[in-house]
Structure 1
């Protein structure tokens, strides 16, 4: 084996390891709830559903919420992906679930950046059905 061949293999190995480390860091950061949300700031919010996005890897729920002064604030909530929501029993509007115009209540944790956003723990529909969305909260009782 020549020195050039060994050097190419060594560089290729370093690139492969570097790529793996970058990918692992990206996946770890993506799944770090504590990086985006403050687990010590629970929210209970009632509002009107304006939109639900049933997309992977996370679904999103948008609510219009009146503040104490009567002004409407637009909240955005992250949820699990569609498959996990279905396993939790929550369905799309065309299947009797979340739909625009519904007044619902969510229990969530607040976004760390102070925006009107959060990660949903559970959601209660107008008919009283309650669905637990996120169960990995280390503070959950």
Structure 2
């Protein structure tokens, strides 16, 4: 079956730790087990999110074609000092990465060799051609980490280089969740991860971009760079009347000493993960945000209760770091047309 084959290929990702797959189903859309390399002339560049894209004229099996090359988000490139000027129309470059599972003229680039001999590390810290590199190939923001516990949580927090440290195993999932995952078609138009659909809860909290906590008095606002999302946590009592379900759900928080505890329910979002796990509308999420002792790291714990998806409540963790000067940049997602 096609879906079984895709899931088997996805297992390859477990042995490729230096390649980030936190974006729109890269490991599903592209064949990570079959690296390819193409050389050609750049004829078009789109410097955009969620993935920059350029087209180059190359030769495959003796025939000249236009190869579409996809890469990491433009905001992430800018954050590590890579500007649009590195992709000049008419320049001859080499791209190394993985072919599309759907189209013969599309690939995902992890490394890019420029005409001047420099290599751009797009989605891996490992050079392919030379040690004369630019970029970092990682999700984390470069720069010296700061530490100041007196600031509390209200500042910009940057990726520590990975998302959630935990992944649900099959024995934690219900039978119906496993069946639906096997039947899921990642190339369906219903897949929000291959579109510019803002991600809902709890999935959005695994995104790799910076976010900012803003003190709004009786509410806390989280500005998330990915999809320009604004999440609001009310510090007032949850109303008795039912609220209309929305993708981010309705969040109500309280302070337990210096730990922010948040309960979220009424979530209108179905895609728990990018590999076909679906969640139900009865899901409830409890989050705990806490500073480490130095005030340099924001620790995060997410406990999910959803009897349709999980046999028992499921907990996963991650963290962010403070890089003074980092900002939440406009994302302005653009779908390739």
Give the TM bin, normalised by the shorter chain.
Answer: 0.5 to 0.7
* Secondary structure class of the residue paired with 2:112: strand
Distance 1:129 1:40 in 2: 26
Alpha carbons 1:88, 1:133 under 8 Å: kept: no
Unaligned runs of 5+ in 1: 1-29, 137-141
Provide Cα deviations, 1:114-139, integer angstroms capped at 9, x if missing partner. 42111111101000010110129xxx
Which of 45, 51, 55 aligns to 1:62? It is 55
Distance 1:125 1:87 in 2: 19
Structure 1 stretches of at least 4 aligned residues deviating more than 6 Å after TM superposition = none
Deviation of 1:87 after TM superposition, in Å, equals: 3.2
Tell me whether 1:74 sits opposite 2:66 in the alignment: yes
Greater share of helix = 1
Unaligned runs of 5+ in 2: 1-22, 126-337
Greater relative contact order, per chain length (Cα 8 Å cut-off, separation 6+): 1
RMSD: 2.2
Match of 1:132 in 2: 121
Match of 1:53 in 2: 46
Match of 1:23 in 2: none
The aligned runs of 1:108-123 (5 Å cut-off) are 108-123=97-112
* Secondary structure class of the residue paired with 2:28: helix
Distance 1:128 1:32 in 2: 31
Name the TM-score, length of structure 1 as normaliser. 0.67
Provide Cα deviations, 1:26-73, integer angstroms capped at 9, x if missing partner. xxxx6321220000110111000011100111110111002342x311
Alpha carbons 1:49, 1:101 under 8 Å: kept: yes
Name the TM-score, length of structure 2 as normaliser. 0.29
Q: Relative to 1, partners in 2 of residues 1:102 and 1:79: Cα closer, same or farther, differing over 3 Å?
A: same
Distance 1:121 1:111 in 2: 13
Match of 1:41 in 2: 34
Greater share of strand = 1
